[in-house]
A and B are shown apart, each in its own frame.
Chain A
Amino acid sequence: MAESVATGPKGMFLEVWQGRLKASVKVAGEGPPLVYVHAAAGLRWDDFLDGLARHFTVYAPELPGTGDSDPHDIYQVESLWDVVLIMGDVLDALGLSGVPLVGHSFGGMLAAEMAAHWPERFSKLVLISPIGLWREDRPVTNWMAVPLQDMPRLMFRDLSSPAVQRLLAMPQDQEELVMAQAKFVWALGCSGKFVWPIPDKGLEKRLHRVRAPTLLVWGRDDAVVPVEYAQDFASYIRGAKVEVVDGAGHVPQLEKLDQVLPRVLQFLQG
């Protein structure tokens, strides 16, 4: 592992959505800008983001209600359509256009929606095990119906990776632990507002609008969104490349960081 970003991400708040929201955005790194959209359980600054931040200035907006934003902000957001436009507000406030966009899982779906809505806005698109499509023969697992203690086994094929172990490490301080657990559950509730009970909100009808060169990254043993979905996404997005990662589950960028990070960087910088 090379040196990590010493100070961790900086937090910033942006007034958006006619002043009804103070959007929280985490920023780290140096270089050209890149936007990262987090998964359903909220933003955790992990080793993959550290890796991206060595080459890019990573902007990671938090879904309203999650992370450092006001938990009640979720009530200002009524629909997935609102979420997409709020993300647009945030990128406008940051002055970001023509930038690469990376999203994981729930964030992968959201990134795909954004790239379909603004085909010119993003230079590259990386979707890591995105949700958003639905196959009767291989339904997406309802992660909100999984007991919390079973969550790691659902998410990861390879729990041994140091990056996964760092992600799963819990705060020692009791109060920090309470808040971390509450925020984790609350973030699932907030993102769930836009995908419950079936995470298919019609993305299939919009994906053809994506024009950014796209890389799909998928763990071969993904127990949340089975790897068959990679081909479905690829069939809708012209010229999309698919990278299937052996020995990885739903979070291949951490489970197999050493393979996935270089592949993503190569795609982004190529």
Chain B
Amino acid sequence: MQVSMFHLMPYRDLPKDFEQRYHSVWVDPPWWELADADKVGQYYNWTLDELVYAARSGLDGICTNEHHQNAYGFMPNPNLMGSALAKATNGLDVAVVQMGSTLPTTNPPIRVAEEYAMLDCISGGRLVAGMPLGSPMDVNYCYGVPPMEQRERYREAHDLIVKAWTAKEMFAWNGKYWQLPMVNPWPRPIQQPHPPIWVPGSGSITTWDFAADHDYCYCFLSYFGWQMAQGVVDGYWARVQEKGKDMNPYRLGFLQLVVVSETDARAEEEYAEHVEYFYHKCLHIAPEFAFPPGHHDWESLVHMVRRGGFGGLSMNLREMGYRDFVNQGCVIAGSPETVRDQLREMAKRLRVGNLMVLLHIGSMPHELTLKNIDLFAREVLPHIRDIWDDEGWENHWWPQRLRKPQPATR
């Protein structure tokens, strides 16, 4: 298994009563009331330091992503972060996993082809190219794309980017959403024919098909643990089999919140408030922002209405505490033994080859984050790496030069 640290870069000092006083953490939280640019500068630096620390501690990859107008995670351009990370990790066998530039809103989309190619060159061929559709908050509300056009724009941007990377001759692009007379980007990526592509999804059949048809790694980025994810992931694997593809576990990426301490009790003491901060404040998203009409295609919409409407979440996050989040598997927390047992079980059940772990959560301070990374890397990681070794799969979705047999312990 390949294990990467994911970072959201949230605002770490929201007021205690944030979720009572404010409408939403995303789209309309008032910057001038809530935020301080000096603090934010410190957060960005801590975020970079934490990811570099993870890389030096032995994690296989480091992940950043793109979001806008929120206190939940605000790296409006993940490639600015990725660039600093690529430089800082030169010489390490660590993948720079961009999860990544939002395709429908990066204009023109060859900007993604160019920036990713830059990252691949700076990192010496260590880039994983995430291709997200983008959240409705980001794409529809913050960046103004009509919800009905989001998926079409995504497909066109994807086709254009891959062609821009691989075409040997300059070409003209006469698309529905973009027209470019002479496409010939400089640079092109080191990895040939192009860096591995990961597609984050939230469970729609359309995205399963897209990932399976193109032989990409499908990533389910869930905050609700593997029990809740089982249905979605089973659906994805069924689709993969229907299409006659192999069951290589590296076709699936999964995000898991993880906190490690010396003992289970100590973990609760140290991390409870930060986990609750994340679920209560960072996920305080106004439902109308998450489900604008037209965002779901017709089939998914009918399916959702039939299941009883919008929201999808059967849990009321605000009424849940640390122990609920742990018991439901939203967070895997505790001593190294507890965490490694649960991670092994989770990875086996979901058939995850590319695991992403969120090791900074909500309001977690810098020092505690380093402790979490350190314990995870030393006491957990060596015990979960070998999960798929007996099946002998190759991770085709990992940078070629980093693909080597992983020792069971480092």
Contact = CB atoms under 8 A, between A and B. Distances in A.
Interface string A140-162: 00001111100000000000000
B305 interface: yes
A45 interface: no
Contacts of A75: 152
A181 interface: yes
Nearest to B302: A182
Interface in B66-106: none
Given A189-B148, A197-B144, A197-B146, A181 B305 contact: yes
Contact of B147 (A71, A147, A182, A189): A189
Contacts of A190: 148, 294
27 contacts: A71-B298, A72-B298, A75-B152, A145-B141, A145-B288, A147-B288, A148-B310, A178-B305, A178-B306, A179-B302, A182-B301, A182-B302, A185-B305, A186-B294, A186-B298, A187-B293, A189-B147, A189-B148, A189-B292, A190-B294, A192-B147, A192-B293, A194-B146, A196-B140, A196-B144, A196-B146, A197-B141
Contacts of B148: 74, 189-190, 192-193, 196
Contacts of A71: 298
A185 B293 contact: yes
Contacts of B18: none
Contacts of A196: 140, 144-148, 294
Contacts of A187: 293
Given A188-B293, A190-B148, A196-B147, A146 B288 contact: yes
Size category of the binding interface on chain B? 20 to 34
Contacts of A72: 298
Interface string B108-151: 00000000000000000000000000000000110011111100
Interface of A: 71-72, 74-75, 78, 144-148, 178-179, 181-182, 185-190, 192-194, 196-198
Contacts of B149: 193
Nearest to B177: A78
B112 to A, nearest CB: 22
A197 B140 contact: yes
B57 to A, nearest CB: 43
A78 B287 CA distance: 28
Contacts of B305: 178, 181-182, 185
A185 B293 CA distance: 5
A145 B137 CA distance: 11
B396 interface: no
Interface in B267-297: 287-289, 292-295
Contact of A192 (B146, B152, B301): B146
A71 B265 CA distance: 54
Nearest to B147: A189
